[in-house]
Structures are given as structure tokens and as C-alpha cells.
Structure 1
Amino acid sequence: MLGKVLLTIDAIGLLLGAPIADMSHSHIYNPRWPPHAKFHCGQTITLSVALGLATLFFTWRSSFLAPSTPAAVAARVARDSLHTAVVVGTIYWLAGLIAVTYPGSAGSDPEFGTGFPQAPVFSAFTTVAVTGWAYETWMR
């Protein structure tokens, strides 16, 4: 159960993180951003929310199996769902960690500072998801 709670925390980060961070003066409401940059910002917000919903679905999917489901089938669904949950739950964070390596990219626009302020958050949520998956898969 602890592992599923950790994966749920990851999903909440996906559901709320991008909408809160990107629906701001430094992103979507930044008058200096061209329309195409705002398009990609909207794409990123939508992707984050969709991945958060999928992570929740796969994390808790096995909890809603019919009581008549054979034990072997239920165990397989539970295992496969957790594997899928960790993949879906880390795609966004890993993509964010990698995005800073693209030519000309940066973690923030110069008017808002330098560095890569998202790195600790992206790393933390990746760690939470992988820890939750590992706990449910190997430690319980």
C-alpha cells in the first residue's frame, strides 16, 4: 500500500505541477513568449495532466477487479499495472530533466533567473514514483 501511496503522490504532482507552474507570468501569461511557445506550454500542461490521470488509473486498477477474478489473473494485472504506472508516472519528469540538454534551452528565461530550478522537483517526483513501484514490486 505504501508503494501505491507514493505513486499517487507522483500522480498528484503530475496533475497539479505543470498547471500551477506553467499557468503563470513566467510561462503562458508571459507577453514576451511567442504564440508557438505558448502552444508548447499548453501541450506540456495537457500531457502532464493526462499522464497524472493514467498514473492514477494504473496504480489503483487492480483494486477494482471483480471479486470473481481468478487470483493468478489478479496478480498479473496488479503487476503489469504497477509496471505501467511507473513508466507513465516518470515520462514527464524524465523528459523535463532531458529537455535542458537541447541546444539553446534553459531551465528558465533570463528575466526570471538562471540555472535549472525544476531539477530538484523533477528528480524528487521521479524518485517517489520509482520508490513506490519498487516497494510494491519487491518489498511487500
Structure 2
Amino acid sequence: MLEPRPGDHIAAVRSLLLPARAGNSAEAIGYADRHDPLPDERGTAVTAGRGLLRTLAAATAVAGFVADWNRTHLFNPAWPPHARFHDAMTIALGTALGGTALYLLRDRADDRDVALGAALPALFWASMGAAFTFPGTAGMEVEFPQYVPQVRGVWINERFPAVAMTLAAAGAYALERRGRQAVQPRSAM
């Protein structure tokens, strides 16, 4: 006789409530077991790393509105319409990537969804840093130096959040992986 594994009760309840995916409830239970992470002893698969990743995803989703929905960017009278278009596109992209990451980082998400949920905000922030390598680009200090702090002659511009958020996403993902490995039963490793 097989010993029940953590998470079997969840798959069994799903098989009763949801139509069988493969034709019978036994196969539906097998499907759920393969796609749901194993819960820890508290019945949850959320770790500190996941909480940090969710915070980064939420920040990515709203950062464009906070930073750009003003007269220095989207409503800047000196900007031509096409420049505003690109800023609006960046705001929408950040919102879409952050929102999608929040969905992927939901409770009980599998490892693939968590990895993608970590990667999407990181890609947004890394692309902000990469934008500085294109010809003719500069930080906000060129137009609005009064809004950009300087420390020992170095402008603390968009480069800093780009690097910090990219590294934070990588660090939070590493913490998430370590935390999930700690709560997995030995037989699942």
C-alpha cells in the first residue's frame, strides 16, 4: 500500500470538485500531483523569497505611473508625441510584466512559474540599465538636474534602481529556491 504524500489531499479534493482532465479521477489526481508544489508543514508553499519577489513585481507594475505620470515625462510639453508614445509604452510594459509576475508568483505556483515570475520584473529593470548603452541616451539629470541627487559628483539617476532591482530579483529568487528546498520532504528531492 502506498503511503500518502503531502499534497495528496489537495489533489483528491480537486478531483471531486473539478472534471477529470484525463478521463478518470485517478489520472486527474496524478495530473494535480505533478503540477502543484508540495506544501510545507503549515500547508503553504510561500517563502520569504516569494514575498520579496511579489514586492518587486508590484513595484514594477506601479513604478512607471509613479515615476513617469508627470510633467517631467509623459506630460512634458517639450516632448514630441512620439517620445510620449514610447514613455507610455514603457509604463504599460512595466505594468504588464509586474502584473503577470504577480500572477505567476501566486500561492502554490510550480517552480517554472516562480522562475518566470522572478525573471519578468528583472528583465524590465535590466532593460532600463541597458538603455544607457544606446547612442544619445541619458538619465533624467540632463533635463531636470534639480530632481536627481548627486553624491560626490555621481548622479544617482535611473541606473541605480535598474541595477538594484535586477540584483534584488536575482537575490530574492535565490532565497525563494533555498526556502522551497528547505520545506520539500526528503523523498521529493
Q: Which runs of 5+ in 1 are unaligned?
A: 64-76
Q: Which of 98, 115, 119 does residue 87 from structure 1 map onto?
A: 119
Partner of 2:56: 10
Higher relative contact order (CA 8 A, sep 6+): 1
Report whether the alignment pairs 1:119 with 2:165. Answer: no
Q: Distance in 2 between matches of 1:12 and 1:93?
A: 13
Report whether the alignment pairs 1:33 with 2:65. Answer: no
Would you identify which runs of 4 or more consecutive aligned residues in structure 1 move more than 3 Å?
none
Is the CA contact 2:141–2:157 (under 8 Å) kept in the aligned structure 1?
no
Q: Deviations over 1:32-55 (max 9, x none)?
A: 000000000000000000001111
How many residues matched? 126
Rg larger for: 2
Partner of 2:135: 103
Report whether the alignment pairs 1:138 with 2:170. Answer: no
Q: Which of 103, 123, 128 does residue 168 from structure 2 map onto?
A: 128
Give the C-alpha shift of residue 82 in structure 1. Answer: 1.4
Given residue 117 of structure 1, which amino acid in structure 2 is its aligned partner?
N
Give the C-alpha shift of residue 109 in structure 1. Answer: 5.7
Given residue 118 of structure 1, which amino acid in structure 2 is its aligned partner?
E
- Matched residues, percent identical? 29
Is the CA contact 1:22–1:41 (under 8 Å) kept in the aligned structure 2?
yes
Partner of 1:20: 66
Q: Deviations over 1:115-134 (max 9, x none)?
A: 46112222222222111211
Is the CA contact 1:107–1:116 (under 8 Å) kept in the aligned structure 2?
no
TM-score, normalised to structure 1, is 0.82
Q: Distance in 1 between matches of 2:67 and 2:60?
A: 11
Q: Distance in 1 between matches of 2:172 and 2:163?
A: 14
Is the CA contact 1:6–1:131 (under 8 Å) kept in the aligned structure 2?
no
Give the C-alpha shift of residue 138 in structure 1. Answer: 2.9
Give the C-alpha shift of residue 13 in structure 1. Answer: 1.1
Q: Distance in 2 between matches of 1:50 and 1:103?
A: 27
Is the CA contact 1:9–1:128 (under 8 Å) kept in the aligned structure 2?
no
RMSD (CA atoms) = 1.7
SS of 2:110's equivalent? helix
Q: Distance in 2 between matches of 1:50 and 1:39?
A: 16
Cα 1:96–1:116 shift into 2, 3 Å: farther
